[in-house]
């Protein structure tokens, strides 16, 4: 992992920030992506550079295919490669499905599903050439249950589609030495979903709980794991 370059989308804050900082401990460098808060992204970059690792910030609206493709191109031009792609960017909207506007539906679906598709499609050629790659998509803990979610309907639909995309790409790219997996967090400290007292583990999840799962899936120890959805929920509603 010492010579690998990682790109974490939506890494200026929250889970994405923690993933980027922890990947910096085991890779050669990390590309930090943001959409609006440049200062927050630069703060993350400073922390990574203090570790003695390569880092740069890149802005892109990943709901737009051209900007997503341009992001991948700029990162590859800067660092020469992308070995690890973590599709963390994914806006959520808590709102009754019948009140969600068409533009809001479009934004949530594009932000959670199409953004990941755009980034992985642009990253795959380089990974195929090197016969090595790790892609991790972020889901949510109940993505495989196909339950009713009246307050986050477009988000749940997008993440379910992302799981299908994850497994489809995993099947087609396994022979190229590329693994594609999903990490699905449950209720996390600082999240916008309501807290629950019904978590068997007895606490809310922490950013590092999710980051550790991502770090495992991009490591050599997980070389034979692909198409997997790793739920990080403390046993919540399993």
96 belongs to a structural domain = yes
Domain that holds residue 160: 5-232
The domain total for the chain is 1
**Is the pLDDT assigned to residue 109 strictly greater than 80?**
yes
**Would the pTM count as exceeding 0.85?**
yes
User: Which residues are marked as active site?
Assistant: 155
176 belongs to a structural domain = yes
225 belongs to a structural domain = yes
237 belongs to a structural domain = no
Sign of CA pseudo-dihedral 16, 71, 110, 99: positive
Task: Please report which confidence band the pLDDT of residue 147 belongs to, taking 50, 70 and 90 as the band edges.
Answer: confident
- The span from the CA of 216 to the CA of 177, in Å, is 16
191 belongs to a structural domain = yes
Give me the percent of the chain exceeding a pLDDT of 70: 100
136 belongs to a structural domain = yes
Q: For residue 20, give every residue at least 6 positions away whose Cβ sits within 8 Å of its Cβ, in sequence order, or none.
A: 6, 8, 11, 30, 32, 44, 48
**Is the pLDDT assigned to residue 192 strictly greater than 80?**
no
238 belongs to a structural domain = no
Question: How much is the pLDDT for 212?
Answer: 98
102 belongs to a structural domain = yes
Question: How much is the pLDDT for 233?
Answer: 95
Dump pLDDT digits (tens) for 77-88: 999 999 999 999
Task: Please report which confidence band the pLDDT of residue 217 belongs to, taking 50, 70 and 90 as the band edges.
Answer: very high
Q: DSSP for 68-85?
A: HHHHHHHHHHHHS---EE
**Is the pLDDT assigned to residue 33 strictly greater than 90?**
yes
Q: Strand 29-34's sheet: what is its strand order?
A: 54-59, 29-34, 5-8, 84-87, 133-138, 178-185, 229-232
Mean pLDDT, the chain, rounded, equals 96
**Is the pLDDT assigned to residue 221 strictly greater than 80?**
yes
Task: Please report which confidence band the pLDDT of residue 168 belongs to, taking 50, 70 and 90 as the band edges.
Answer: very high
**What CATH number does residue 18 fall under?**
3.40.50.720
């Amino acid at each position: 992992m010492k010579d690998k370059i990682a790109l974490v989308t939506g890494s200026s804050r929250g889970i994405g920030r923690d993933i980027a900082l922890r990947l910096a401990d085991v890779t050669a460098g990390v590309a930090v992506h943001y959409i609006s808060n440049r200062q927050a992204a630069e703060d993350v970059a400073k922390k990574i550079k203090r570790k003695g690792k390569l880092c740069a910030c890149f802005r892109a609206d990943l709901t737009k295919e051209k900007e997503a493709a341009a992001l991948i191109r700029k990162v590859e031009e800067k660092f020469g490669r992308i070995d690890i792609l973590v599709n963390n960017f994914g806006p959520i909207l808590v709102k009754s499905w019948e009140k969600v506007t068409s533009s809001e539906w479009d934004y949530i679906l594009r932000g959670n599903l199409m953004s990941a598709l755009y980034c992985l499609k642009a990253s795959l050629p380089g990974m195929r050439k090197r016969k090595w790659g790790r892609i991790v998509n972020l889901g949510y803990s109940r993505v495989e249950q196909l339950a009713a979610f009246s307050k986050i309907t477009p988000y749940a639909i997008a993440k379910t589609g992302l799981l299908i995309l994850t497994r489809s790409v995993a099947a087609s790219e396994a022979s190229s030495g590329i693994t594609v997996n999903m990490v699905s967090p449950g209720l996390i400290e600082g999240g916008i979903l309501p807290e629950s007292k019904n978590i068997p583990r007895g606490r809310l999840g922490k950013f590092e709980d999710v980051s550790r799962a991502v770090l495992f899936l991009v490591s050599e120890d997980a070389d034979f794991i692909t198409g997997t959805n790793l739920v990080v929920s403390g046993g919540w509603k399993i």
